[in-house]
Amino acid sequence: MERIMNKFWWKGSNGGKGIRWLQWDRMCTKKSSGGMGFRKLQDFNVVLLGTTVSITQDPWLPSSDPYIHTDHEAIRNRTVDALMITNQIEWDVDLVKDIFSERDAQLILSIPLRPSDMDSWFWKWENLSHYSVKSAYAAIQETKQNSCWNDNFPWKRVWNLKVPLKVKHFIWRAIRNILPTKDQLLSRRVAVIDKCPICNLEVESVYHSLVSCQFAKQCWCLLGISPVEDDQSSFNNWLSAMIQKCINRKLQEVVMVCWSMWHNRNEIVWNQRGGEGSEVCRSAKALLNQWQNAQDKSFDNFLDFMNQEDDKERWEQPQEGTVKINVDAAIFENFNTYCWSMVA
Ligand SMILES: [Zn+2]
């Protein structure tokens, strides 16, 4: 545990603002619970969490699109525990296969309900007076999504790019399909018009917004990237293809332009002002150059700064009546694995 705790992987990486890497902060919400004692989180997860998670409304599938697609009377307003065999920690396989589409059923049944021997999860304090079951679920869900780190996407190229961290995080979100595009908002029951705010022609998805929208195509053309022919593809496939064929410098520009396009899109949505494609490309390149120049000059100082910050950090006692959940995670590149842990 301490070994993992020492590798505070994401510390400072989101600059404290903007993208929330994982929703750990949600874990500290107050809620009466009590008397958990020493329980394995996985058992706890299954027994309690299942009763709090809506089958159709919550993002609980281990997929980049974590929502159930199936619409069936039997599952409306029901919670996930309804899909388990009564009093057992097991999926009701027949039921799941009957009700859900093949895709949903496969994802549901792929969620292991029994803990593996590899992990051990403990709640340290016996008097857990405030604890949110749902928020813990959200964290577990994030972890499950994180297990996609082992997928075939060439993450290493992305993380090794010399571009601002916020841009890498943005790309990560785009690949994970967790940008607030109109299609995503709709799938979360947020009432919005589904059309792309830039072209007003097609449903806005990550792929549309960053690749297949007329505006995006114009940007790519300006950057010397040939336009896509297959508009049905996904952003992941598109970026994978870019990673295959681009040298680093070009790839840096590609991700910067993605970021810049998204920034431009947000300007249109929130401030009713956006630039031309040429402006988007120009600012993407300018930002990249500025950032890289600054990096070259101050990288050593930057490292010093990071180390100083490390020393300053001290654990502080939680306020009375609240539970502090300490979390950490690390990615072990050599083993292609990750770990995370928490202590309450
Ligand atoms: Zn569009």
Q: What is the pLDDT of residues 50-102, one digit of tens each?
A: 777 788 877 788 777 778 888 777 787 788 888 887 767 788 888 888 888 89
* Ligand 1 centre distance from Cα of residue 60 (Å): 29
**This prediction's pTM:** 0.47
Alpha helices (runs of H) in the chain, residue ranges in sequence order: 2-6, 41-44, 93-99, 102-109, 133-146, 155-160, 165-175, 182-187, 206-207, 214-222, 235-245, 248-271, 277-312
Instruction: Please tell me the distance between residue 44's alpha carbon and the centre of ligand 1 in angstroms.
Output: 44
Tell me the pLDDT of the chain (344 aa) as tens digits: 433 433 333 333 333 333 333 333 333 333 223 222 233 344 445 556 677 778 887 778 877 777 888 877 778 778 888 888 776 778 888 888 888 889 899 988 887 776 444 444 444 333 333 334 444 445 555 555 444 444 678 888 888 899 998 999 899 889 888 888 888 777 777 777 788 999 999 989 999 999 999 999 999 999 999 877 766 688 998 999 999 999 999 999 999 999 999 999 999 988 988 899 999 999 999 999 999 988 876 655 555 555 555 555 677 888 888 888 888 877 666 665 677 777 87
Assign 40 to helix, strand or coil: strand
204 C-alpha to center of ligand 1: Å?
6
Distances (CA, A) of 300 to 37, 295, 296, 306: 46, 9, 9, 10
Neighbours of ion ligand 1 (CB under 5 A): 196, 198-199, 213
CA of 216 to the centre of ligand 1 (A): 8
Going from the Cα of 202 to the center of ligand 1, the distance in angstroms, rounded, reads 6
pLDDT at 233: 80
